[in-house]
Amino acid sequence: MGIPFDLLGRAFARWGHRTYPDWAWPLLARALEGLPPGARVLDLGGGTGVLARAALDTRADLKLVIADPARGMLRHAPEQAEVVVARAEALPFADAEMDAVLVGEALHHFQDPPAALGEIARVLEPGGLLWIYEFDPQQGVGRWVYWGERLLGEPARFFPPAALLRALRSLGFEGDYRERRGCYVITARLRSETPQAAARPA
């Protein structure tokens, strides 16, 4: 069982942006403002490219790459973006290749989130941006999303924002989060050149 993402590309392309709260978009735009011209940005677990589209609307000069294991989702990605069939735990990119990584509503679907976080740290250049939008399983709408995904047979590996931020700091990131009604955004920068082994959020 599980959500048949390969069959839902058209629906996600049309409606996916509506699952994000209005307050998250200005946070994304603000984070992208500091990237260099022509920055290479990875939309990880990006599916049809909801975040990629928003990034391009903010900065048309960005070079977007969407990585997702579901080919049926990637078929509906924006033409301006490069698409790569890949899992977050084994990214086909060189060390320090990306200026930024965006992860929207995807971390809880990864089979091994700590391994995925380690890969994110590996492919980001020092000083690179990490922007994550997720649900807090302990409160608000996040609790409903957690139980809904459990019923659908998804991994449902949700983490409270403070626990996720601790794991990121152990990998050399520095940042903070904003949370409202069980949804949160983490904005962080990679400080160290040598990421440590991924730490499991507690």
**DSSP helix/strand/coil, 70:** coil
Q: What is the pTM of this model?
A: 0.87
> Is position 73 within any domain?
yes
| Any domain includes 81 | yes
Q: What is the pLDDT of residue 136?
A: 95
What is the CATH number for 105? Answer: 3.40.50.150
pLDDT digits (tens, 9 = 90+) for 91-133: 999 999 999 999 999 999 899 999 999 999 999 999 999 999 9
Q: At residue 80, does pLDDT exceed 80?
A: yes
Q: Are 121 and 172 in contact (CB under 8 A)?
A: yes
pLDDT, tens only, 176-201: 999 999 999 999 999 965 544 445 56
What residue has token string 């996040």?
Answer: 142
Mean per-residue pLDDT for 6-20?
A: 54
- Determine the 3-state secondary structure of 67 from DSSP: strand
pLDDT confidence of residue 57: 94
Rounded Cα distance, 192 and 98, in Å? 15
Inside any domain, residue 64: yes
Q: How many residues does the chain have?
A: 202
For residues 60 and 46, give the distance between their C-alpha atoms in angstroms, rounded to a whole number.
18
Looking at residue 9, its pLDDT comes to: 46
Rounded CA gap, 93 and 85, in Å? 12
pLDDT of residue 148: 83
Average pLDDT, the chain: 87
Q: Is residue 31 part of a domain?
A: no
Mean pLDDT along residues 21-40? 96
Range of the domain at 46: 5-14+37-127+140-171
pLDDT at 149: 77
The answer to whether position 104 is within a domain reads: yes
User: Nearest CA to 136 among 155, 111, 110, 108?
Assistant: 108
42 — pLDDT class (breaks 50, 70, 90): very high
75 inside domain = yes
Does residue 102 lie in a domain region? Answer: yes
- Residue 174 in this model has a pLDDT that exceeds 70: yes
Total domains, the chain:
1
Q: With respect to residue 95, please indicate whether it lies within any of the assigned structural domains.
A: yes
